[in-house]
Structure 1
Amino acid sequence: MFELSHPFALLLWPLPLLVRWLAAPYHQRESAVRLPFFEALARAAGVSLRDGAMVVAHKRWALAAGFVIWTLVVGALSGPMRLGPPQEITKATRDVILAIDISGSMDTVDFPGEDGAAQQRFAAVQDVVGAFLEGREGDRVALIVFGSRAYVQAPLTEDLATVSAMLAQTEVGMAGPHTALGDAIGLAIRTFEASEIEERLLILLSDGNDTASRMSPVNAAEIAKENGVRMFAIGVGDPDASGEDQLDMGQLSDLAERTGGQAFFASDSEALDQIYAEIDTLTPREEDSISWRQKQPLAHYLLLAAVCVGLVLLMSAAMRMPRKDAA
């Protein structure tokens, strides 16, 4: 497929014809010998007399060559380009932050897997979140891990493979043994500050109470709401436990509802997987695609062809010029 970047240049094409039609003929004076008996000499030679002017006849091949050269030059000025096949780039329209609890209680082996066997809580979360990331094409995703402190494991990026790799390298206890829900929400808010995308989604996953936050979880949720952050909280712990390890679903529900989100309780791996699917349903992703074609300029080929035709024209004219014999 081809296109012209300056199509109005084609209006120059009839310019030589207009010049030839409108401009006055070229005049050139020549020296001559005046003969008093010129008329008698002309009659004797059988030549009809005309005014003292002569129009030089241009050869057709030269006119055709000039026409080709001018056409090639005008074509080059129009900026012809060859278009490659269309390419589409999906632009991120939503930012998602995964805040994953890696406190000491996430090492507990009591979470039913798909086969019914008990497995480590964090291992089950890694499997489900890894599958969740595979369907995030078109979203920018960040990973925050928190225990006694909250840390950005992976900043907002469209490189989902890197986020998955960082999640796979994460281990329980890396951020301390306690749970800092408020700090995790606050760090997510600061991470979102670097984004210009309006739709911001925070998915918070924890299995215990807030016991180590320097920022109140309620205050953090209110600030998140003011910054347009919608939070979904997922509990994976044991609501019947006691102390720090007890899962407070009431607190998680309150935090999520303050931001316009929801809270869920995941009793096993299958339920956790369904929760992520439900979050997708509640917050459908809008795709914003950018289409473009690679452009290859062709003007230099036309100019090269014009130069070649001009050289052939000059060589032909030089060969037709009469040669003087050497004395």
Structure 2
Amino acid sequence: MFEFALPWIFLLAPLPWLLRRRNPQSGNPLYFPPLAKLAAQQAQHQPRAQWRRPALLPLLFWLCLLAAAAEPRWLGEPVTLPQQGRDMMLAVDLSGSMNINDMVIEGQSYNRLDAVKHVLGQFIAKRQGDRLGLVLFADAAYQQTPLTFDRTTVQKMLDDAVLGLVGQRTAIGEAIGLSVKRFNTYQSSNKVLILLSDGANTAGNIQPREALALAKAAGVKIYAVGVGAEQMVQQGIFGPQLVNPSADLDEKLLTELASETGGRYFRARNLQELSEIYQLLDQLEPIERDQLNYRPQQSLLHWPLAGALFLLGLALWRRSRYAV
């Protein structure tokens, strides 16, 4: 559909005639020196009955300028933006135990943090339409990115996270409390916290169950992921020994946090189990937002401007012709 963004501009169309009344000596409705001289010259060479014809040039020139000022544009068909999405906060443990090399990626051993980055990177890439945020925690919890649709920034901040950045202990309660606080700054019907940890709460100013009460009051659903293998061969004094590197994992607490908020607890002993979170999160209830529509716009401003330049060039050409 064609339209003018500022159609009221055409109310200025009679302006040259109003100015002519105030200045009767002006030979044309729109007094533009090159066009005015052209009209005067033609008036000397042509019969009186024909001299008005070139006055069409100033008129058309003025109308072209008005058309350009009115911002002509072409509107395309309405496009509906995708409205289904989720608000998700990712809380990632950076405590010292995340450095244990008990996760295997393509046959090679990696520490827990690298495994989490590997899986979450794929997860973030698939979250089109979701709003993501990132919280890192160890001795304390810090917000790295607020809730945003900019998945590239969230991915970059996750990739830049390093062990020891915020200490060596595990502040699970503080991570939940900070996430809930950030959720409360947004209007959302679906608040999901993905909590990834490999230990027990050993730091922070907020206890996990206090943070749990805040999460329930704010309607935040927690999906907890316990990261780390249950068996690992370790070289000891008497030779290789089979140990449990996840002995400090507080599964009871993580299960309680998830179940009390309507979420679910995952035990990620390897990458395959860690990837199960994809299937569940894709089944979450989407956020209900008002439907947004927009119409693609294509500016047609260049056409009336081109017409005005053409008329100006024609007037100058006629002027030079009669000057000879």
- What interval of TM-score do these two structures reach, taking the shorter chain for normalisation? 0.5 to 0.7
User: Contact 1:186–1:215 at 8 Å: present in 2 too?
Assistant: yes
Structure-1 residue corresponding to 2:264: 262
Structure-2 residue corresponding to 1:209: 200
Shift, 1:151, TM fit: 1.6
Structure-1 residue corresponding to 2:248: 246
Shift, 1:260, TM fit: 3.1
SS at the partner of 1:187?
Answer: helix
Are the structure 2 counterparts of residues 159 and 312 from structure 1 closer, same or farther at C-alpha, using a change threshold of 3 Å?
A: same
Shift, 1:206, TM fit: 1.0
Are the structure 2 counterparts of residues 99 and 289 from structure 1 closer, same or farther at C-alpha, using a change threshold of 3 Å?
A: farther
Letter in 1 for 2:121: G
User: Contact 1:209–1:245 at 8 Å: present in 2 too?
Assistant: no
- For structure 2, which runs of at least 5 residues remain unmatched after alignment? 15-46, 232-242
Are the structure 2 counterparts of residues 121 and 76 from structure 1 closer, same or farther at C-alpha, using a change threshold of 3 Å?
A: same
Shift, 1:125, TM fit: 0.9
User: Contact 1:92–1:140 at 8 Å: present in 2 too?
Assistant: no
Deviations 1:209-245 (A, max 9, x none): 2222321222222322333433221112467999995
Structure-1 residue corresponding to 2:227: 236
- For structure 1, which runs of at least 5 residues remain unmatched after alignment? 16-55, 321-327
Structure-1 residue corresponding to 2:166: 175
* Aligned pairs for 1:214-233 within 5 A: 214-233=205-224
Q: Which moved more, 1:87-96 or 1:231-240?
A: 87-96
Shift, 1:251, TM fit: 2.2
SS at the partner of 1:144?
Answer: strand
CA RMSD between the two structures: 4.2
Q: Which moved more, 1:148-157 or 1:279-288?
A: 279-288
Shift, 1:84, TM fit: 9.6
Deviations 1:39-83 (A, max 9, x none): xxxxxxxxxxxxxxxxx9622x733x4345435534543425355
User: Contact 2:139–2:169 at 8 Å: present in 1 too?
Assistant: yes
Shift, 1:261, TM fit: 2.4
* Aligned pairs for 1:64-75 within 5 A: 65-67=54-56, 69-75=58-64
Structure-2 residue corresponding to 1:144: 135
Q: Partners in 1 of 2:106 and 2:95 — Cα distance?
A: 25
Shift, 1:164, TM fit: 2.2
Deviations 1:271-320 (A, max 9, x none): 1112233212325578967554353534544444555566677778x779
Q: Partners in 1 of 2:245 and 2:112 — Cα distance?
A: 18
**2:82 is the counterpart of 1:110:** no
Are the structure 2 counterparts of residues 296 and 96 from structure 1 closer, same or farther at C-alpha, using a change threshold of 3 Å?
A: farther
User: Contact 2:230–2:246 at 8 Å: present in 1 too?
Assistant: no
Q: Which moved more, 1:96-105 or 1:187-196?
A: 187-196
Letter in 2 for 1:104: G
Number of residue pairs aligned between Structure 1 and Structure 2: 275
Shift, 1:127, TM fit: 0.7
Letter in 1 for 2:55: G
Shift, 1:99, TM fit: 0.3
Shift, 1:258, TM fit: 3.2
Are the structure 2 counterparts of residues 68 and 260 from structure 1 closer, same or farther at C-alpha, using a change threshold of 3 Å?
A: farther
Structure-2 residue corresponding to 1:127: 118
Structure label with greater radius of gyration: 1
Letter in 2 for 1:173: G
Structure-2 residue corresponding to 1:42: none
Are the structure 2 counterparts of residues 124 and 283 from structure 1 closer, same or farther at C-alpha, using a change threshold of 3 Å?
A: farther
Structure-1 residue corresponding to 2:27: none
Q: Which moved more, 1:94-103 or 1:281-290?
A: 281-290
SS at the partner of 2:282?
Answer: helix
Structure-1 residue corresponding to 2:92: 100
Identical counterparts, % of pairs: 33
SS at the partner of 1:127?
Answer: helix
Q: Partners in 2 of 1:82 and 1:75 — Cα distance?
A: 14
Q: Partners in 1 of 2:180 and 2:196 — Cα distance?
A: 16
Structure-1 residue corresponding to 2:282: 280
Structure-2 residue corresponding to 1:4: 4
Q: Partners in 1 of 2:159 and 2:6 — Cα distance?
A: 54
User: Contact 2:146–2:182 at 8 Å: present in 1 too?
Assistant: yes
User: Contact 1:192–1:200 at 8 Å: present in 2 too?
Assistant: yes
Q: Which moved more, 1:300-309 or 1:160-169?
A: 300-309
Q: Normalized against structure 1, the TM-score is what?
A: 0.66
Are the structure 2 counterparts of residues 256 and 290 from structure 1 closer, same or farther at C-alpha, using a change threshold of 3 Å?
A: farther
Letter in 1 for 2:98: M
Q: Partners in 2 of 1:11 and 1:166 — Cα distance?
A: 55
